[in-house]
Amino acid sequence: MTYALVTDSACSLSHTLCNELGLAVLPLNYYVDEVEHPGFFKDRPVDLKGFYQSMRNGSSVRTSLPNPKETRETLVELLEQGKDLLYLGFSSALSGTYDSVHHICERLQEEYPQRRIVCVETIAASFGQGLLVKQAALMKRAGAKLDDVVSWIEDNRMKAAHWITVDDLRYVLGGGRLARTGALAANLLKLKPVMRIDENGAVDVVHKTRGRKKSLKGMADKLRETFDPSISDEVVVAHADCIEDAQAVKEMIEQEAGKPCSCHIEYLDPVIGAHGGPGSMAVFFFASSR
């Protein structure tokens, strides 16, 4: 039985790569001054530079879950083609996306009892989720069965490492993820957090550094300590419109990784970037553990 691989736009993979891999993508949405924008297009990229410039200009931004009606329509179209479904979703500790899609899938399973509909939470976000989804798509292309892909994701999702820092904690404050006094004090002291996505899929502040350079180096150091290219040597350096810092981190990684790696730079997507703001940086790779 053929199956379709479905994910959501929190995976951050480009429309070109998603089309190449045959992925069905459910767009999360973002709002700039209450104007809605899809977080993914099948035929063109999202204007990420413009999004971060809007944040710098003081626009209010927020994000929302995939539209339930559009999600259902996308899934029904695949089911009507006679395909089973495997949905690989965004961490439920960070968003209600997985729970929302899972609920829709449960209803569709009742309507299409002859089809298999399987949902797996990646417990990951952004390119951490993307790295897992990409490997799943490559497995599917090579002929792997649905259950084999599910087993692989469940066995390896804790190896998808995410290391993150932000430049201005006021944006984190605006997202309600940090107390106001703590954010303002940290900005005054030029403290920069180095964070990870933990085993529960939530943001965990590992330590704080004094100054931007140390926080960037902190992410590169974490890669050097835990990088495991046995699954894939791909490393993604993602930035929220701070390309020079991204290039500096890429150079650090290539010089200090200690193992061959294929490192490339990408933009952080709006759904992630809205919570960290311009200047946010992240490094994603497969590791011995998170």
pTM as predicted: 0.93
Residue 169's pLDDT is 83
Q: Which two tokens stand for residue 115?
A: 């089809």
**What are the DSSP calls for 182-245, one per residue?**
HHHHHHHTTEEEEEEE-TTS-EEEEEEEESHHHHHHHHHHHHHHHB-TTS--EEEEEESS-HHH
- Residues of the chain within CATH 3.40.50.10170 domain(s) are 3-157
**Cα–Cα distance measured from residue 125 to residue 83, given in angstroms and rounded to the nearest whole number:** 26
Q: What is 159-286's CATH number? A: 3.30.1180.10
Point out which residues pair with 281 in neighbouring strands: 165, 239
Q: What is 3-157's CATH number? A: 3.40.50.10170
**Cα–Cα distance measured from residue 259 to residue 257, given in angstroms and rounded to the nearest whole number:** 5
* Per-residue pLDDT band at 212 (split at 50, 70, 90): very high
* Per-residue pLDDT band at 179 (split at 50, 70, 90): very low
pLDDT tens digits, 4-53: 999 999 999 999 999 999 999 999 999 999 999 999 999 999 999 999 99
pLDDT tens digits, 98-157: 999 999 999 999 999 999 999 999 999 999 999 999 999 999 999 999 999 999 999 999
**Cα–Cα distance measured from residue 201 to residue 94, given in angstroms and rounded to the nearest whole number:** 7
Residue 185's pLDDT is 43
pLDDT over 70 for what percent of the chain? 93
Mapped onto helix, strand or coil, the DSSP state of residue 163 is strand
Residue 184 has pLDDT above 50, yes or no: no
- Residues of the chain within CATH 3.30.1180.10 domain(s) are 159-286
* Per-residue pLDDT band at 173 (split at 50, 70, 90): low
User: Region 84-91: what's the mean pLDDT?
Assistant: 98
